[in-house]
Structures are given as structure tokens and as C-alpha cells.
Structure 1
Amino acid sequence: MSKSLEEVHQSVSIQGKTSTIKKIVAFFGPAYLISVGYMDPGNWATDIAGGSRFGYSLIWVLLMSNIMALLLQSLSARLGIVTQRDLAQASRETYSPFINYILYFLAEIAIAACDLAEVLGMAIGIHLLTGLPLMYGVLFTVLDTFLLLFLINKGIRKMEAFIIALVVVIGFSFLIEMLFAQPEMGKVALGFIPTLPNKEALYIAIGIIGATVMPHNLYLHSSLVQTRKFDRSKTGIKQALKYNFIDSTIALNLAFFVNAAILILAAATFYKNGFFHVAEIQDAHQLLAPILGSKWAPILFAVALIAAGQSSTITGTLAGQIIMEGYLNLRIQPWVRRIITRLIAIVPAMIAILVFGDNVSGKLLLLSQVILSLQLGFAIIPLIHFVSDKQKMNGFHISKTTKIASWIIAFCIVSLNAKLVFDEIHGWLQTSAHPMVLWFTVVPIALGFLVLLLYIICNPFLSKFKHDVQNHLPHKFELTFSQLESTKKKNIAVAVDFSDADERALNAAFELGGTEAHYTLIHVVETVGAFFYGENIKDHETTVDEKLLNQYQEMLTEKGFKVSIKLGFGKPYKAIPKIVHEASFDMLVMGTHGHAGIKDILFGTTVDNLRHHISIPLFIVKL
């Protein structure tokens, strides 16, 4: 299995940092990328709805959600730091392919809901600030993909700095808004006492939980912590866990401040003045100026909304990449991954706006957060199981106290979601003109997901985890080959791409050449920078690929093979022939996944393009 976010994996070195302050600063960063997911536009919709309808009374829900988030994010970081696996990869190694496909499908639904909120939020912010139609704002968010490509090629620290700058803009904007609103601090304090005025408050509360504790953040955090390269000793891992917890505490408290500020702003302006049903962000923006008496209030509101949307779209797209690669073990070209993830969000938003108009945006935002909340159980429960497993965590499993607290949180979330689903389906059955249609469609689907949830809860208690999973990392190869008495192939080139096809290709080459032949391993870097700068590119993916190629060479040399390596850049069907022509190879061996047609656009170049550019035999090994 490939590394999570290979372009930036272990790209920030902690080693060599002597002072405590330098170590803390070096570890800080991942949680701030996570925190933007807790203050994205979806939160704004639920916070504004909660504040305008129920005043300050739901602040306790935000506090409870923040405590839940801190615990769950610390579990996610622990999984990534200790096992060097993100949540999606850990699930793929644990559950059967059938279960993993369902979990992947649910995770994609969560990503789509999350991205929908972020795309709509940023589009609304652009509309409020510039007057451009909402559809243009949605289309403008496509550019986020290219911004992400630019930032990630500049390194994870540059991306973190950009996100932190946007978080500062959001925080500063709401600090000024609080000065304008002048909330009643006594009533704010009373809002920390748990209370639910009515059934509608429960719906809003679940939406707030869904907006605050977000499933895609659990996948993302377990991956981002792996961008730090530190001492893998027990002391080093303990230190990494401690500093990442501090990072999470500071970042999530900042997110809590923003969410609380939005709810307090809605309570101090709309609820106080009798505007009890302000759920649309556009309505909130329009009312701020006349109520607060300042033209800067709506401007700061729109600027903060754009900053929130921009930052959360970047992290949401990264989460989509992590989920796709982790569950499906796909290694497709980065720009393709990110375009797909962005389209999953943009297409539903465009259809909804075209069909229902601009006024549907607020309802879509609120619905997206409820969908996120419903999906939480399918991410939280596997996470708790993984970090509780002594063998999987190699002694860094969570304590009994933490385990009990985690299960209480999971139980609360799943119970609230179950009640919401039951109430909604019951309402549909009561009001539908054709209830039998629902009995044969919606009800079976809901029961199916309930069975899946029960399976995920009970499975680890009924059977042991499968620890001896197939792993295709270089140090886990088990190579077997037939020894030949003589061989005609003395100089063999082998194309590798760090996928499942490599093992078959290498074994086939060894059967042809034995231990007497010389092998050259060829890998082509296909990043955007590689196309333009060729061998002069020094991006993170090139560094990672070169490191993996060296690991291949070291491992095979130890087994007695004569091996050299060669890195190419750009299109494989051009780069590989160029390398082949520069040396006198007897044969080129290449593994293939057997895809063709549209899959070549996603996964790379066809063998047909390659074979027409070389003059030596091409041996194809199909996976």
C-alpha cells in the first residue's frame, strides 16, 4: 500500500530540533488544517439557525461538540502517528472488500455533503461581496483545485501557513463583529447549561454536531500527522503524540471561538430583535447593517465567509484524495483525483441552483450538515476499534478511561442520529400518498445501514483483526523465482510504479534473468512540475518516488541481485523509451493492470503507446 499523501509524506523533519519551542513549532500545523473544517460555511448555517431561533441556549451544544471533536481528533492523530496508516487505509486492511466498498461509498457521500457546503458557502460569500450570481461563484470554486496543486507542490508548510492566514482573517472578522453586536454576557453564560427547548432544537443540535464533528476530518488528520518525520522510537512517538495533542487543543479552541461567535452574533442581533427564523446566510448578511448600524459588519461577514469557504475547500479536497486512495488503493494522477473530488461537489450544487434557484442554498447547507452527522458513526466506530487494539497500536493503544469516553461519545452520536432517522421516516410514512413505496425502498435501506453499523461494532469482539494483510511495500516483498541454468538476457529493464503490479513484474524479470543478469528499475514521475521542468524538478512527489526507488534497490541488492535505478519525468510512453534508447537493454519488463480506454486517462499511459517507441522486446505481465 502506498503512503498516505505521498507528495508530502514525512516532508517536515523534526529531527535535529534541539529546543522544545522549535519542536512544538515544527509539529504545529496539521490541526489548523483540521480546524477549518470546524468553521466551514456549513457551520455558519447551523449556528445562525440555532442562534436566531433559540438565542444563546444552544451554546452548550457547541462546547460539547468541541470536546467530542478534541477527543476524536486526538484518536485520529494517534492512529496516523503510531501505525503510519490513515483511517481509510486501516479500514481497508481490516474489513472485507465488500464492507470496504460500502464504507467508501458512505465516506464519499460525506465528502460530497461537506464539499457542497463549502462550495455553496464560498459562492454565497462572493455573491454577497461582489454581487455576482451564485452560479458564477460555484464555477469559480473550480480554481481551488489549481490553487491546491500549487500549494502542495510548494510544500505542506506553505499550505499550512496559507490556511492559518485565512483562519486569522476569520477570527479577526468575528472579533470585530462581537464589538459591534455587544452580546449580553450573562445570557451567554446561561447558554452553557444543557437544554433543548423543543423537537426543532434537536434537529438543529444534531446539525451542529454534524457540522462540528466532521467525518472527513478524522480521515484527514490521520494522514496529515504523517507529514512529520520524527524519531520512531517509543520516546519519539510519545513526544509526537503530546505535541500533536497540544496542536489540536489550540486549533480546535480557535474553531470553537469562531462557531460560538457566529451563534452569539445571531442571538444578539436576530433573536434579540425578533427575527427568529433567519437560517439563510444571505438574510443574515442583509440584516447585519441595519441592526448593528455599521456598513462594515456585512463586509466583514462576507470576507470571513469567503475565507472559510476557501480554506475548507482545500482541506476537503485533500480528504477526498485520502479516502479514495485509502479505501480503493488507487494511485491515479493528482490533478485527476482533485478534479473528480471537486466535481462531486460542484455538479450537485449547480443542479440544485438551476432547478430551485438561489434561495435553496440555505436549506442545502443545513441538509449537508445533517448528512455528515448521520455518517459519523461509520467513521468513529472503526477509529475507536483501531486505537483500542494492542497489537495494531504496538503498545500505544488508548487507556480504559479514554476508551469509555470514546464509546460514550459514539453512543450519543449514533443514538441521536437513529432518533433523527426514525422521526424523519415516520413522518414520511404518515404524510406520503404512497407509503408502500417507502416501505420497499427507504425502510430497507435504513435497516441495511443499521445492520452494517451493528456489524462494525461487533465484528472486532467476535473475531481477531487480520494483522497478516498483504502489503506491497518494498520491505515486505516475498520474492520467489525459478533458478535457470543459463540465461540469454543479461541486461533487463523493469518499469515500476509502486503498485501491486511491481511484484509480478519483478518476479517475471528474475525468472528471465536469474541472479546473473543486471536489472535497471525505471520509474517515471508524472507531476505537473515534471512535465514542465523535467529532471530539474525538486517537488515532494519526486523526492518520495526517488526514496521508494532506492528502497527497491537496497532490498533487491540484499537478495543478491545486481540492480541500478533510473528516474524519468513526464509522460511514461515518452520518458521510458528515452531511457531505453540511452542504454543497451535486452528486454523491457512491465506490469499492467489490464485497463484500457477511459481508464488510461485516469491511471496513465497505454502499453500500445509505449511499444511503438522502443526497438527491444517488451514483456508484459498482467496483474
Structure 2
Amino acid sequence: MIKKLFKNIGPGTLVAAAFIGPGTVTVCTIAGVNFGFNLLWAMLISILATIFLQEMAARLGIISQKGLSEVIREEVQNPFFKSVLIALILVAIVIGNSLYEAGNISGGVLGLETVLGSQNYMMGPFYVNALSILIGIIAFALLYVGNYKFLERVLVSLVLIMSISFLITAIITKPNLIEIFKGLVVPKLPENGLLTVIALIGTTVVPYNLFLHASLVKEKWNKPEDISSVKKDTVVSIALGGLVSMAIIISAASINSDTIANVSDLAKGLEPLYGAFAKYFLAIGLFAAGITSAITAPLAAAYVAKGCLGWKGNLKSKNFRGVWIFILVLGISFSSLGVKPIQIIKVAQVANGLLLPLIAGILLWVMNKESVLGKFKNTKTQNFIGLCLLVFTIFLGLKSILKVLNVY
């Protein structure tokens, strides 16, 4: 049964692993603490939007047998627009992910520290966090193997551990099921809740996952007949990811405190109410979330660089490894030394805010090209939903940029 489970699960789980990182866990925690179950509807919309966009990216990957960045490089004909677009993609995803990687590793460290305590050591003039280096070494070893099937199995296992941990934590808090249902189907926007809604959507509908999915799907499937398997994998995996995010919101909603700023605080807040087991389940979930994102962020950036720059080769090629090693080493360094490159991260966030609607628009355009997809191009219904999502991503992108620039 376990063998069959691994056989049928594919790249969709890696996409779920990518978007349920420490950032998502923290945003979901804050949403639950500040607004209870009232923003569950926003997470539901995020998941539906993610499923739709990721299905298009996966369909493109399996039919064209190319990554999204490769298709963009080949299909965009205007030299100036192509150069600007590729530069924006490289800045937002390759440079951006190298900075977000510190957050991914730090999130995994928070999970370990909740159980093991702080592991900082003095090395010359610096305090070095040994747990950051440990997580970095684990991520390096898994990526260096360069075997997609092995990597997939490891990430699927971590996602299952993460899912079980967060779901058990939510069950322990014995939430009101009627209130949860109302939170899901009755949209409410509490006072000061708009930015949290934008954050929930922004941490779920992630631009680099569109590139990651289109590239990974062809590692597992290569025939049009596999499209039904691809769709099933996408829907089930991302829905499971959404369930995990909702479980975090539900767990956080049970805590009455204004002092909780992240999931580590949530773990400490749950302990006196629900016992030490709640803290341990949450800590394991956060560790799994951190390490899965610490693997998928460098992997996505390497695929993007490979497609944008026209590199050949596979997961073991020198250029491919060079990109993810650079990102991972930078992430380990920033995380272990406690460096927070806020200004550079803000630039990356602005670039991602611009990139999401741009990539969604180009993806929609490509999905209508018969020369690329043949009979598997978008239907009229898919185009209508896609246009609605495009307008939505433009709104989200503008709001994200204004938030970073402190213009409200």
C-alpha cells in the first residue's frame, strides 16, 4: 500500500512542500490568533486559485516536456521584452529565493529549538547557530544526490509528517466545527484584516511554484495519457497543503494572547492548555515545513536559471548544482549568523509582486497556443477563470508592493 501511495503521488506534493514554509506557518498563526476562524475563507480561495494555476503549469510541462522558463524564452519573440522578463524572473526567483532561504532554514531551527533549546556557539566575534548548519547539511545532502525519485520520496515523507503533526495539533484544541464551517463559507473582513488576507494568499499562490511544477512534472511523467494522473496529483496534494494551513489557523485560534508573533510562541502557548504533546507535534511540523522549503526553494531557483539561460543537463549538472549550492550556502550563512538583509528582501518582494500577475498572464497566453499544447490548450471556461485570477493577481501584486513600500 505504501509503495502504491508513493507511485501515485508526484510533483504536486513538492509544490505543497514549497508553499507550506515557515512564512506560511507564521502568517497562518497570526491569522488564527488575531481573527480566529474568520479568515479561513481566504485560505480556501487561495487553495482553489493555486490548484487552477498549478494545473496549467503542470499541463504545460507534461505536453511540451519543457519548463515554464524554457517556454517563455522560446515563445516571447520581442528581444527587449524577453530580456526584461528574464531579468525580472532571475532577480525575483534566483536572488529572492537565496534570501528567503534564510527564513526557511530559520523556521526549521525554530521547530528544533522549541524542543532542544538554543544551540548558539561563539566563533570568534560571531554567534553561530549549530541547528542552522545541521539543517543546511541535511538539505545539501538530499539535493546533492541528484535523484528525482529519491528526493520526491523524502519530501513526500516530510509532507506527511508535517500534515499529521499540524492536523493532530488542531484536533487536540477541540475546535468548534460549526464555527470552522462558517469561517470557510461566509467571507468576513474584520477590521485591520486586509493585509493578513493578502499575506495568506501571497504565501500560497507563489510564482516560483509555477516554474517548479512545470519542470518537475516531466521528471515523472512524459505522455499525454498521464494528464489525468497529473491533475489528480495536483488537486490532492495542494488540497492537503491547504488543509495543513487551515489546521495551523485553527490551532492558533484557540489561544487568547496578543503576544504570539510566530509558531514558536504558539507552541509555548499551547503547552499549558493542552499539555506538552501539543508543543512537540507543532515543533515537528515546523521543522518539517522548514526543511521541505529549504530544499524546494534552491531547487526551483536552479530550474528557473537553467531554463532562462538555456543550460543543458540534469539535476547533477555543474551549472544546476552551482545555483542551488549558492542559494543554500547564502541561506545557511544568514540564518546561522542571524543576519537579516531586510532591504534586499524588500526588493525581492517587490519583484515577486510584479512577477506574479506577469507570469500568470504569460502562462494564460501560452496555454492558448496550439503550437505548444495542441488539443490540450485551455478551454473557454478555463480562460474565463484564468482571466478572473489574472485580475486578482494584479490586485494582490499591487497590494504587496504597496505594503513593502509602506503605502496604504
Of 197, 210, 214, the residue aligned with 1:205 is 197
User: Which structure: greater helix fraction?
Assistant: 2
2:235 is matched with which residue: 249, 262, 273? Answer: 249
What amino acid sits opposite 2:308 in the alignment? Y
Cα shift at 1:375? 3.7
**Which residue of structure 1 aligns with residue 273 of structure 2?**
291
1:406 is matched with 386
- 1:169 match: 161
Shift of 1:314: 1.6
Instruction: Check whether the contact 1:117–1:368 (CA below 8 A) recurs between aligned residues.
Output: no
Q: 3-state SS of the aligned residue for 1:194?
A: coil
Would the alpha carbon gap of residues 369 and 164 (structure 1) be closer, same or farther in structure 2, given more than 3 Å must change? farther
Q: Distance in 2 between matches of 1:355 and 1:108?
A: 18
Matched residues in 2 for 1:373 and 1:243: separation?
32
Name the structure 1 match of 2:171: 179
Contact 2:89 2:355 in 1 (8 A): no
**Equivalence for 1:48:** 29
Contact kept? 1:30, 1:224, Cα under 8 Å: yes
Partners of 1:223 and 1:402 in 2: CA distance: 22
Write the mapping of 1:332-343 to structure 2, written as runs, cut at 5 A.
Answer: 333=318, 334-343=320-329
Shift of 1:197: 1.2
Gaps of 5+ in 1: 1-21, 232-236, 429-623
- Match status 1:345 vs 2:319: no
Structure 2: distance between partners of 1:70 and 1:27: 18
8 Å contact kept, 2:62–2:218: yes
CA distance in structure 2 between the aligned counterparts of 1:335 and 1:317, rounded to whole angstroms: 9
Alpha-carbon distance, 1:367 to partner: 11
Q: Which residue of 1 aligns with 2:137?
A: 143
**Post-superposition CA distance 1:523-573 (Å, at most 9, x none):** xxxxxxxxxxxxxxxxxxxxxxxxxxxxxxxxxxxxxxxxxxxxxxxxxxx
What is the CA-CA distance between 1:24 and the residue it aligns to? 9.4
For residues 335 and 322 of structure 1, the distance between their equivalents in structure 2, rounded to whole angstroms, comes to 10
Distance 1:282 1:209, change over 3 A: same
- Counterparts of 1:426-445 in structure 2, within 5 Å, are 427=407
Q: What is the Cα deviation at residue 172 of structure 1? A: 1.7
Higher Cα Rg, which structure: 1
Which deviations, in whole Å up to 9, do the C-alpha atoms of 1:431-459 show, x marking residues without a partner? xxxxxxxxxxxxxxxxxxxxxxxxxxxxx
Q: Which runs of 5+ in 2 are unaligned?
A: 121-128
Offset at 1:78? 0.8
8 Å contact kept, 2:94–2:302: no
* In structure 2, C-alpha distance between the alignment counterparts of 1:80 and 1:386, rounded to whole Å: 12
**TM-score, normalised with respect to structure 2:** 0.86
The SS at the match of 1:56 is coil
Partners of 1:43 and 1:212 within 8 A in 2: yes
Q: Residue 264 of structure 2 aligns to a residue in which SS?
A: helix
* Distance (whole Å) between structure 2 residues aligned to residue 370 and residue 203 of structure 1: 15
CA contact (8 A) 1:31 1:248 kept: yes
- The number of equivalent residue pairs is 387
Q: Which runs of 4+ in 1 moved over 6 A?
A: 22-25, 364-371
Q: 1:410 to 1:115 in 2, by over 3 A?
A: farther
Higher relative contact order (CA 8 A, sep 6+): 2
CA contact (8 A) 2:91 2:351 kept: no
Contact 1:145 1:338 in 2 (8 A): no
Residue 71 of structure 1: CA displacement?
0.3
Percent of aligned positions with the same letter in both sequences? 25
Q: Is residue 195 of structure 1 aligned with residue 181 of structure 2?
A: no
Question: 1:12-48: per-residue Cα shift (whole Å, max 9, x none)?
Answer: xxxxxxxxxx999745311111111232211101000
Q: For 1:280 and 1:371, locate their aligned partners in 2 and report how far apart those are by CA, in whole Å.
A: 25
Aligned twin of 1:324: 305
- The two structures have a TM-score, normalised by structure 1, of 0.58
> Post-superposition shift, 1:285?
1.9
Inter-partner Cα distance in structure 2 for 1:118 and 1:257: 20
Pair 229,422 (structure 1): closer, same or farther in 2 beyond 3 Å: closer
Note closer, same or farther for the CA distance 1:159–1:175 as it changes in structure 2 (3 Å cut).
Answer: same
What is aligned with 1:603?
none
Q: Aligned partners of 1:378, 1:255: CA distance in 2, in Å?
A: 25
* TM superposition shift of 1:393: 1.6
Hey, what's the Cα distance between the residues in 2 that align with 1:108 and 1:94? 21
Cα 1:72/1:344, change in 2 over 3 Å: farther
CA distance in 1, matches of 2:221, 2:399: 44
